[in-house]
Structure 1
Amino acid sequence: MLDTKVISILCVNDFHAEIFPTDRVLGSAKLVSVINRFKEENPNTLVVFGGDNYKGDPISEFFSGEPVSCLMKSVGAVASAVGNHEFDYGRDKFKEWQRQGNYTFLAANLLDRSTQAAPDFVKPYYMVCVDGVKIAMIGLATMEPLNKANRSTDLHSLEIADGTEITRKWVDYLNDGNDELGKPDVIIALTHYGLKYGADQITPVGDEAITLCRQIPELSGVFTAHWHQFMSLEINHVAVAQGGSFGKGFAVLTIRLSQEDHRILNVTPGYFDFSARLHEICPDTNTQNQVEAYYKKAMDNELGEVIGVAKTDIVHRSPSGNEVYLEGSPLSELAIRVLLETTNSQIAMFFSGSIGQGIKKGNITLYMLYKIVYIDSGIVTMKLKGKDIIKNIENGISTLKQEGASPLAFGGLKVTADYAKPFGHRIETICLENGQPLDAERYYDIAVDEYIASNEIGYDFSNGLDRLHTGKSVRDGMVQRIKNMSHLEASIPRHYTIKNKNL
């Protein structure tokens, strides 16, 4: 309509450096292609990223994230939220990434603990004029402590504050006309807040995002991320969009305004999921050549090293539903053996959701192992009572489909569980590998990966004594063990008996 203007804001969230195409993701070259086509069809488009851009493919990590920064520059990204995995690299990389990609990191709630000022590698908001329309984007990082032992020490002086309170401050600042461009016509929040649908597949779950929408109704729209779903909805009349993950597609906020005074008429949330038609999309040639050059250089160096041989296909996840096999896999068993033998612990626990699909029959390169074990978790030891071990095992008797979390791998124990029982009450029997009953009040020496040791996704190790971050890596241990064995076989762990697993 001639009397309206339309502005589109396109957001890629949780890309996780998926720079290569597979039968599940677009890869950089195809993602550039679909974004550029969208921009051609919708000229007044801003491109942003939702955080967790860099952590993922070993080729990207080999080049310290440069392939992802180049992708962001190719699509003309102007800003990015800060994801939790951006912090995996410490603070040194933030400026370099922004210089390479020609964009700005936004995180209004990332503050110095002492001064309460923003660190010099992020800005609280970004404001730009598109076709005469002034658009402000306030960035928000999801809450998590940055002074944990597994975080780089250069982050310990920072904190992530309550985002809703901070957003109120900056919305008022902008609406008072304090920016040099004046009062914005549109204010959106570019967040790495987690949002997902609950068990009924209708009700949204995610306190940070929901609270933001309820308490800051002046926001025209919110981009969410972190929990990897495609979502398009309204919360308290605020448009909310999320674009899946791994470059399978993107989210869009479409803003219609009056031509004369730029009054907002409506904001429509949406998303584009290309998963079902990946093979129909032609890659951008320049990006494809660039990614292939990165791959060749990295593989000609250390990532091409052959560390062993897979005697058959080693499958960790269901090819159809991406579900981790409940009994475990040769890969999760390998991780458990590393935890137990590296630390001489009695019991080990490992989050099997941090491992990808599996390994094809044939030579196993360092790249392949790094690719599937994409979270390089450190090893933490502690003493934990039997009752707390049981509680954590119960939390891990879960499925991605039903409880929204992949199952836990464990060792040093024999467990029988019934999936017909309610979550949290599925263990029927549990004992040590030698058949000795697990004593609820006795302390046991255990080893766990850093992710669950941080009390993520329902795990709770806060009662552990003599906690020690060993400085050793699960992934490095897996590499060395494969080298020592020279091969990997498709054996299934036998210490876990499951009833009614197909319910």
Structure 2
Amino acid sequence: MKKKTVVATTLSTLLVSTAILANAVQADEVEAHAAVTAPSTEVVATEATTNATSTAATTATSESAAPVASSTSVVTALTAETSETPVATASETATAAATPTTEVVTNASTSASNDTVTVLHTNDVHGRMVEDDRNGVIGDALLSGIVNDSRSKGTTLVFDSGDSFQGLPISNSSKGEDMASVMNAVGFDAMTVGNHEFDFGLDQLRRLSKQINFPIITSNVYVDGVRLFQPSTIIDKTPGVDGDEVVVIGVTTPETATKTHPRNITGVSFTDPITEVKAVVDQVESNARAEGKEYKTYIVLSHLGIDTTTPVEWRGSTLAEALSNYAPLKGKRVLVLDGHSHTLHTATYGDNVTYNQTGSYLNNVGRVVYNSDRVLSHGVISHDEAKKNYKVNPTVKTMIDDIQAKYKADSSKVVIENSPVKLSGDRMNVRVRETNLGNVVADALLDYGQSAFTHKSNLAVTNGGGLRETIAKDKPITKGDIIAVLPFGNSVAQIQVTGQNIHDMFVKSLGSILQVDESGKTVLDENGQPLLEPSGGFLQVSGARVYYDTTLPAEKRILSIDIFDPETGSYKPLNTNENYYLVTNDFLAAGGDGYTMLGGPREEGPSMDTVFADYLTHADLSKYAVINPNSRTISISSADFAALNKKENAEDPTLNPLSPVTPSSVAEDLKTTKPVVSKVVTTPNGKVFFVSTRNEALKETEKVAEASAQTEVLPTTGDKASHAGLLGLGMLLTLFGLSGKHKGKEKY
């Protein structure tokens, strides 16, 4: 490399003019919410034509032991924490490689020459500063050790692709300030803005940007028409050498318009990612020519992701492909270090673009090694490799220990002494179907909504993406546990909605595409119904019973909706012309997560964690024993649903459609209404359901209670045990009249 010539004027990428705002996604516009929907089949097909060669890792039950495909494999796969499944390219084929990508990285690093540069990067850390071997979390003390080791051997750059400050209660309790201090200690060179960077409000984000001692950059976020932060930065680790400078550009998902609370982004707009990144490249190249310089390496810190529910034009993979075909970058090295979709994925586009994403939660550290000629390797350092080959930085560990002690003192207050059940907040549960944690949180909202507002509430909903942790069985529930479940600081709100609004709301909630496994086969639930892809907007409910068939087109899946009447304590079919009172969190009440049919005037209450904590002090948690009760949002085939209604309506056409009940409600309802299971209905698919009638014979009651206790864990569909499980589930699914006919207050 030649010695650098002295240039009087320092290059500034802040000269980039305000980009085209005609395509801006306004945070407070209805169109922004409507745009973030599951792509159509045609959109998916477009993504499938991407000319990429990729390697990826598939995580088993234990995230710390994630096998990664070899460098020659071509398959797109997700970790267990991924919210959506990316679309494989047309040339991608599955491989079963046991050799981790980290082996390639290790080999490359041992052959590094003096001009070798190592890039270490993270994404979607979500406050995981503390090492956690059980969950495969590397933690920032060990990350700092990895960084120090790499820097001792040669030029090293360290980046973060967003969603770092917010996530766990330990980071949320200081609104990201403790996390910012730790990132300073690790020694990051730059980061971009993720959607969750806005969760503590715009003013707090600005404060955090001043607290960190490295630049936070994004090219497509504007406040009142002016860029929020600088769009790029230029890093020069060896000032005496010309040509090794690195241009770093940031870009943020326009989905932020619906992925943080609207109050956090007042006046904020998000423009098209690809348009903005290209505009920054053009400006940098123009400035370089004017100064007689040449930049050979571009690194894009993107928080875009590759979720199938993200519009194709906003995906990180689409950006990578576009840059591989962009003439000003021809012959240059381009790295796209992505985040947002929590995906463990690496790929190459064309002959000059490398894409890397590390998964999430600091389970891995991304590593790309290159020299003046080419990229030598790209992959990740796994949790296991980090533990084996690196040492923690004791200074950073002491800092984190002090933060942890401060947090524990505040969060250790016990709310209830013991939880008799496990309440599942697993991402692949709460974002896919009804869960017991979702039920108890929604019940807390509905319970609060019976007396706290001007009008009693009919129903309550909360988005599955807002439920972030599991509550363990046979352990105390503390303040910290509750904050871990509800970390966003949302408040309770009640809004008046029409029946049509409710119908449209559930159409959106149940509108995800279907899950498929690695072979492309549809993933089924215990009842043989297809499971939906995870979506943060999937609603957990109370005061509603929604029957739906996932085999139908998204807009036609809903079979029926019953809504709770607080005056009679019974359920009635939804009337699209009537008004109802819905209690929810203020995020959804303001149209967040794309629920634009909500919005409008509302009454507000205290924080959700306060309401949830109060409810737990008097709730009977034993009635939430079944993790997936299928009792409120009820996945059922159209044939089974029709058969059940036909049988019941033949006896009494005035009765509501048959409705399942939770096993938790069986014991209480048996005491009050004394129904009896007196008739067996076999559906066309051979599933067995029990229909209740109102009489005084109780000889079958014990059988119902016994079946309720046996259905917490159902065996795999297809074996003999599964038929017994289905029989037990059937007993739970219909006991008609228990929740719809008995007198008195609904048993939440």
* TM-score of the two chains, using structure 1 as the length reference: 0.82
In structure 2, relative to structure 1, the CA distance for the partners of 1:378 and 1:215 (3 Å cut) is same
1:239 has 2:369 as partner: no
State the secondary structure of the residue aligned to 1:296.
helix
Q: Which position in structure 2 is the counterpart of 1:212? A: 319
**CA offset at residue 135 of structure 1?**
0.3
Distance 2:148 2:278 in 1: 34
Distance 1:137 1:57 in 2: 28
Distance 1:322 1:456 in 2: 21
**CA offset at residue 474 of structure 1?**
1.9
**Greater share of residues in helix:** 2
Counterpart AA for 1:224: D
Equivalent of residue 167 in structure 1, options 262, 268, 277: 277
Distance 2:124 2:292 in 1: 31
1:274 has 2:383 as partner: yes
Identity of aligned residues (%): 20
Distance 2:399 2:419 in 1: 33
Distance 2:258 2:507 in 1: 28
**CA offset at residue 151 of structure 1?**
4.2
**What pairs with 1:60-209 in structure 2 (closer than 5 Å)?**
60-94=171-205, 96-113=207-224, 116-119=225-228, 122-131=229-238, 132=241, 133-144=244-255, 150-152=261-263, 155-178=265-288, 182-196=293-307, 198=308, 207-209=314-316
Distance 1:480 1:385 in 2: 29
Please give the per-residue CA displacement for 1:143-181, whole angstroms capped at 9, x wherever unaligned. 15769994457x534432233232222212211235989
Q: Any gaps of 5 or more consecutive residues in structure 1?
A: 259-264
**CA offset at residue 272 of structure 1?**
3.3
1:480 has 2:480 as partner: no
Q: Which position in structure 1 is the counterpart of 2:460? A: 348
Equivalent of residue 291 in structure 1, options 378, 400, 420: 400
Counterpart AA for 2:573: P
**CA offset at residue 246 of structure 1?**
1.1
Is contact 1:350–1:449 with CA below 8 Å preserved after alignment? yes
Distance 1:465 1:125 in 2: 36
Distance 2:545 2:297 in 1: 58
Q: Which position in structure 1 is the counterpart of 2:602? A: 468
Counterpart AA for 1:76: G
Is contact 2:140–2:186 with CA below 8 Å preserved after alignment? no
**CA offset at residue 96 of structure 1?**
4.3
In structure 2, relative to structure 1, the CA distance for the partners of 1:393 and 1:171 (3 Å cut) is same
Distance 2:213 2:575 in 1: 57
**CA offset at residue 45 of structure 1?**
1.6
Q: What number of residue pairs does the alignment pair up?
A: 481
Please give the per-residue CA displacement for 1:280-302, whole angstroms capped at 9, x wherever unaligned. 975443333322211222333x3
Q: Any gaps of 5 or more consecutive residues in structure 2?
A: 1-110, 517-531, 565-569, 638-713, 718-748
1:429 has 2:575 as partner: no
1:229 has 2:354 as partner: no
In structure 2, relative to structure 1, the CA distance for the partners of 1:400 and 1:317 (3 Å cut) is farther
Is contact 1:242–1:250 with CA below 8 Å preserved after alignment? no
**CA offset at residue 326 of structure 1?**
3.1
Distance 2:600 2:460 in 1: 16
Please give the per-residue CA displacement for 1:473-497, whole angstroms capped at 9, x wherever unaligned. 3222112323x42885462564444
**What pairs with 1:239-388 in structure 2 (closer than 5 Å)?**
239-258=354-373, 265-266=374-375, 269-274=378-383, 283-300=392-409, 302-317=410-425, 322-324=428-430, 326-330=433-437, 332-339=439-446, 341-342=448-449, 343=453, 344-360=456-472, 361-388=474-501
Please give the per-residue CA displacement for 1:354-394, whole angstroms capped at 9, x wherever unaligned. 22342233322211211222233333433333344234324
In structure 2, relative to structure 1, the CA distance for the partners of 1:470 and 1:149 (3 Å cut) is farther
Distance 1:348 1:224 in 2: 36
Distance 1:127 1:463 in 2: 44
**CA offset at residue 438 of structure 1?**
1.0
Counterpart AA for 1:11: H
**CA offset at residue 230 of structure 1?**
1.1
Distance 2:141 2:113 in 1: 37
**CA offset at residue 190 of structure 1?**
1.1
In structure 2, relative to structure 1, the CA distance for the partners of 1:465 and 1:394 (3 Å cut) is closer
1:445 has 2:578 as partner: no
Please give the per-residue CA displacement for 1:157-213, whole angstroms capped at 9, x wherever unaligned. 4432233232222212211235989442212211211224x59xxx99563434533
Q: Which position in structure 2 is the counterpart of 1:14? A: 124
Task: Report the structure number with the largest CA radius of gyration.
Answer: 2
RMSD value over aligned CA atoms? Answer: 3.7
**Greater share of residues in strand:** 1
**CA offset at residue 243 of structure 1?**
1.4
* Residue range with higher mean Cα deviation, 225-234 or 388-397: 388-397
Distance 2:389 2:475 in 1: 30
State the secondary structure of the residue aligned to 1:130.
coil
In structure 2, relative to structure 1, the CA distance for the partners of 1:339 and 1:472 (3 Å cut) is farther
* Residue range with higher mean Cα deviation, 435-444 or 277-286: 277-286
In structure 2, relative to structure 1, the CA distance for the partners of 1:439 and 1:51 (3 Å cut) is same
In structure 2, relative to structure 1, the CA distance for the partners of 1:336 and 1:194 (3 Å cut) is farther
Counterpart AA for 2:176: G
Counterpart AA for 1:138: I
Distance 1:395 1:499 in 2: 18
Please give the per-residue CA displacement for 1:114-144, whole angstroms capped at 9, x wherever unaligned. xx4334xx22211011343110101112215
Distance 2:260 2:202 in 1: 15
State the secondary structure of the residue aligned to 1:14.
coil
1:404 has 2:543 as partner: no
Distance 1:366 1:234 in 2: 46
